[in-house]
């Protein structure tokens, strides 16, 4: 990085450069506010990046959820919205796209992922049942708990270690799962909750081998296996790249093979599927579907729109097709990796290997002087915003929330700050600016003093909690 001759991206990393498989035809100007205004905005937002106005943000890496750029084909599809209350043609296009690519038989749209999580939790969990899963996700676990379920983490130990470079840190540890089933009895397991990739572990993938073993295990014990398919496309990329036997298969083939190991899935289409809003729930079992189809009317809308406009369903149907294209996925993950390579070159501590949707900075390693009660990852997100107007998100003790039984904080091993890359939105130059800001904050790490929480909402506190400097 210290070379004074200009170098292409490929030269910098000793390989040929690649470029995005699209060109830009519409732009949205960015705003850049000065440091004094950023300081003021941060205080007003209670040191919580979720409470900043987007106009106060320069490069927005809060989330990859609903923040993607839609294609010209998707925008054209929006104009073909059939806004009939019932039986919209766009619903049938969506159903066909999901059946084709994810392979499930029965589908309801939902307004976004958590709408689907709510429905599956209500129909598939009986009060007191256990729900083993490969690390928790905030909204997923909350819906499972609100339905009376008890979440149990059965992910491999490597997932909790940011420095461990194992290729499939999203895998379920079969020994842990077997123990839960043995201790609680198969009848007390609502289902196995499998996320691919695993957001809270750093966007880490699940191997096909693990999915197949789980299929066999669950089949043997009469337990259902449900998939959080939110970033399955990105998971398929890692299988193609890392798992023997998959290099010659397409992302679409791998994604379908993975789904075929499971009994159903919920989806936040705001990620992989390149739309700004939308989700779905799909299962293969008709009896279960009947319950879902009945309940969706109560919480989302009729089963042929599930809280979405016809135009949204059309954009999603087209987005599903586009999301499965190999060159798209390669460039999407390539951009995340580019940022990772820059940071690695500067020895910035982060989750390894770099996952599919984000760089997860290791806030414990940034700030060894802070305890988890001083919110290191929240502090790091605030410092980054202050330095450059870049918005990131806490994924540590604040996101982990409180134990539903004891009321005490969950103290996760991972205390991370997430730089999440929206799809098809930012350029390589933006990534350079982000990397330099992370470096500047890392260089100033010794001065960080941490935060205290001064307001804590009851549910999903990370969204609305407020903090003050210590
Ligand atoms: C893995 C995973 N599952 C579920 C959800 C919930 O989806 P939504 O935000 O669309 O409600 C998210 C959102 O971030 C997610 O990352």
Model confidence over 396-424: pLDDT tens digits? Answer: 999 999 998 899 999 999 999 999 999 99
Q: What pLDDT, on a 0 to 100 scale, did the predictor assign at position 1?
A: 47
Q: What would you report as the CA-atom Rg of the chain, rounded to the nearest whole angstrom? A: 22
Any atom of ligand 1 within 6 Å of the Cβ of 199: yes
Mean confidence (pLDDT) of the chain? 97
Cis peptide before 61 (omega within 30 of 0): no
Read off the pLDDT band of 3 (50, 70, 90).
Answer: low
Q: Among candidates 422, 370, 432, which has minimal Cα distance to 396?
A: 370
| Protein residue closest via CA to atom 10 of ligand 1 | 113
| Protein residue closest via CA to atom 4 of ligand 1 | 113
Q: For residue 230, how far is its CA from the centre of ligand 1 (angstroms)?
A: 7
Q: For residue 279, how far is its CA from the centre of ligand 1 (angstroms)?
A: 9
Any atom of ligand 1 within 6 Å of the Cβ of 340: no
Neighbouring-strand partners of residue 360: 418
Which residues belong to the active site? 85, 137-138, 228, 271, 395, 462
Q: For residue 117, how far is its CA from the centre of ligand 1 (angstroms)?
A: 9
Neighbouring-strand partners of residue 359: 419
| Protein residue closest via CA to atom 14 of ligand 1 | 65
Read off the pLDDT band of 130 (50, 70, 90).
Answer: very high
Pocket test for ligand 1, best of 111, 114, 269 (most atoms within 8 A of CB): 114
Residues 6 or more apart from 383 whose CB is under 8 A from it? 441, 444, 448
Q: What is the mean pLDDT of residues 102-110?
A: 98
Q: For residue 187, how far is its CA from the centre of ligand 1 (angstroms)?
A: 28
Q: Cα separations (Å) of 164 from 202, 236, 243, 327?
A: 12, 21, 18, 28
d(CA 438, CA 442): 6
Place of tokens 């075929």: 260
Q: Is the pLDDT of residue 92 over 90?
A: yes
Q: What is the mean pLDDT of residues 185-210?
A: 98
Any atom of ligand 1 within 6 Å of the Cβ of 270: yes
Neighbouring-strand partners of residue 399: none
Any atom of ligand 1 within 6 Å of the Cβ of 137: yes
Neighbouring-strand partners of residue 152: 132
Pocket test for ligand 1, best of 111, 115, 137 (most atoms within 8 A of CB): 137
Q: Do residues 256 and 320 lie in contact, with contact meaning Cβ atoms separated by under 8 Å?
A: no
Place of tokens 């410092």: 383
The pLDDT tens digits of the residues spanning 291-339 come to 999 999 999 999 999 999 999 999 999 999 999 999 999 999 999 999 9
d(CA 351, CA 443): 19
Q: Cα separations (Å) of 220 from 125, 210, 351?
A: 20, 15, 35
d(CA 97, CA 319): 9
d(CA 353, CA 378): 22
Give the ligand 1 atom nearest the CA of 63.
14
Minimum mean pLDDT range among 11-20, 80-89, 396-405: 11-20
Any atom of ligand 1 within 6 Å of the Cβ of 140: yes
Place of tokens 């579907």: 289
Any atom of ligand 1 within 6 Å of the Cβ of 230: yes
Phi, psi (degrees; rounded to nearest 5) at 194: -110, 120
The pLDDT tens digits of the residues spanning 48-74 come to 999 999 999 999 999 999 999 999 999
Across 123-156, b (16+ Cβ under 10 Å) vs e yields: bbbeeebbbbbbbbbbbbbbbbbebebbbbbbbb
Give the ligand 1 atom nearest the CA of 139.
6
Return the number of other C-beta atoms located less than 10 Å from residue 84's C-beta: 13
Q: Is the pLDDT of residue 83 over 50?
A: yes
Largest CA distance in the chain: 66
Q: For residue 139, how far is its CA from the centre of ligand 1 (angstroms)?
A: 7
Pocket test for ligand 1, best of 66, 115, 199 (most atoms within 8 A of CB): 199
Pocket test for ligand 1, best of 66, 68, 109, 113 (most atoms within 8 A of CB): 113
Return the percentage of the chain with pLDDT > 70, whole number.
Answer: 99
Give the ligand 1 atom nearest the CA of 270.
10
| Protein residue closest via CA to atom 7 of ligand 1 | 113
Any atom of ligand 1 within 6 Å of the Cβ of 279: yes
Q: For residue 260, how far is its CA from the centre of ligand 1 (angstroms)?
A: 22
Q: Is the pLDDT of residue 148 over 90?
A: yes
Minimum mean pLDDT range among 11-25, 136-150, 407-421, 427-441: 11-25
d(CA 209, CA 252): 17
Secondary structure (H, E, C), the chain: CCCCCCCCHHHHCCCCCCCCCCCCCCCCCCCCCCHHHHHHHHHHCCCCHHHCCHHHCCEECCCCCCCCCCCHHHHHHHCCCCCCCCCCHHHHHHHHHHHHHCCCCEEEEECCHHHHHHHHHHHHCCCCCEEEECCCCHHHHHHHHHCCCEEEECECHHHHCCCCCCCCCCCECHHHHHHHHHHHCHHHECCEEEECCEHHHCCECCCHHHHHHHHHHHHHHCCCEEEECCCHHHHHHHHHHHCCCCCCCCHHHHHHHHHCCCCEEEEECCCCCCCCCCEEEEECCHHHHHHHHHHHHHHCCCCCCCCCCHHHHHHHHHHHHHHCCHHHHHHHHHHHHHHHHHHHHCCCCECCCCCCCEEEEEHHHHCCCCCHHHCHHHHHHHHHHHHHCEECEEECHHHHCECCCCCCECCCCCCEEEEECCCCCCCHHHHHHHHHHHHHHHHCHHHCCCEEEEECCCCCHHHCCEEEEC
Q: For residue 8, how far is its CA from the centre of ligand 1 (angstroms)?
A: 36
Any atom of ligand 1 within 6 Å of the Cβ of 235: no
Any atom of ligand 1 within 6 Å of the Cβ of 389: no
The pLDDT tens digits of the residues spanning 236-276 come to 999 999 999 999 999 999 999 999 999 999 999 999 999 99
Return the number of other C-beta atoms located less than 10 Å from residue 35's C-beta: 11
Give the ligand 1 atom nearest the CA of 268.
10
Q: Among candidates 40, 60, 42, which has minimal Cα distance to 51?
A: 42
Any atom of ligand 1 within 6 Å of the Cβ of 118: no
């Amino acid at each position: 990085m210290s070379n004074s001759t200009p170098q292409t991206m490929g030269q910098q990393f000793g390989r040929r450069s690649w470029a995005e498989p699209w060109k830009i035809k519409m732009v949205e100007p960015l705003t850049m506010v000065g440091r004094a205004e950023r300081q003021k905005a941060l205080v007003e937002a209670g040191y919580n990046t979720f409470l900043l106005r987007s106009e106060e943000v320069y490069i927005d890496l809060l989330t990859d959820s609903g923040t993607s750029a839609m294609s010209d084909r998707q925008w054209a599809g929006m104009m073909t919205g059939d806004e009939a209350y019932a039986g919209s043609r766009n619903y049938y296009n969506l159903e066909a796209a999901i059946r084709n690519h994810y392979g499930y038989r029965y589908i309801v749209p939902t307004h976004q992922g958590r709408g689907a999580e709510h429905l599956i939790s209500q129909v598939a969990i009986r009060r007191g049942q256990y729900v083993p899963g490969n690390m928790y996700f905030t909204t997923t676990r909350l819906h499972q708990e609100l339905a009376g379920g008890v979440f149990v983490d059965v992910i491999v130990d490597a997932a909790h270690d940011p420095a461990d470079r194992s290729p499939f840190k999203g895998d379920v540890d079969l020994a842990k799962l077997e123990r839960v089933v043995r201790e609680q009895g198969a009848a007390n397991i609502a289902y196995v909750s499998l996320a691919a990739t695993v957001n809270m572990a750093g966007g880490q993938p699940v191997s096909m081998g693990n999915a197949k073993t789980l299929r066999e295990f669950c089949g043997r014990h009469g337990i259902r296996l449900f998939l959080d398919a939110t970033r399955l496309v990105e998971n398929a990329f890692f299988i193609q790249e890392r798992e023997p036997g998959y290099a010659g298969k397409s992302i679409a083939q791998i994604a379908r093979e993975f789904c075929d190991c499971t009994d159903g899935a919920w989806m936040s289409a705001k990620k992989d599927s390149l739309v700004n809003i939308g989700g779905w729930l799909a299962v293969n079992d008709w009896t279960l579907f009947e319950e879902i189809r009945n309940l969706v009317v109560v919480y989302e809308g009729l089963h042929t729109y599930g809280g979405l406009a016809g135009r949204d369903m059309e954009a999603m149907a087209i987005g599903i097709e586009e999301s499965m294209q190999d060159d798209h996925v390669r460039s999407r993950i390539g951009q995340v990796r580019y940022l990772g390579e820059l940071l690695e070159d500067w020895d910035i501590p982060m989750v390894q290997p770099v996952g599919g949707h984000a760089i997860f900075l290791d806030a414990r390693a940034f700030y060894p002087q802070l305890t988890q009660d001083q919110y290191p990852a929240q502090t790091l997100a605030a410092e980054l915003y202050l330095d450059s107007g870049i918005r990131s998100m806490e994924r540590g003790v604040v996101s982990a929330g409180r134990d539903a039984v004891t009321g005490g904080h969950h103290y996760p091993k991972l205390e991370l700050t997430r730089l999440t890359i929206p799809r098809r939105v930012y350029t390589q130059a933006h990534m350079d600016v982000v990397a330099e800001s992370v470096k500047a904050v890392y260089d100033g790490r010794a001065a960080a003093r941490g935060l205290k929480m001064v307001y804590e909402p009851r549910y999903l506190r990370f969204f609305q909690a407020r903090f003050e400097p210590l």
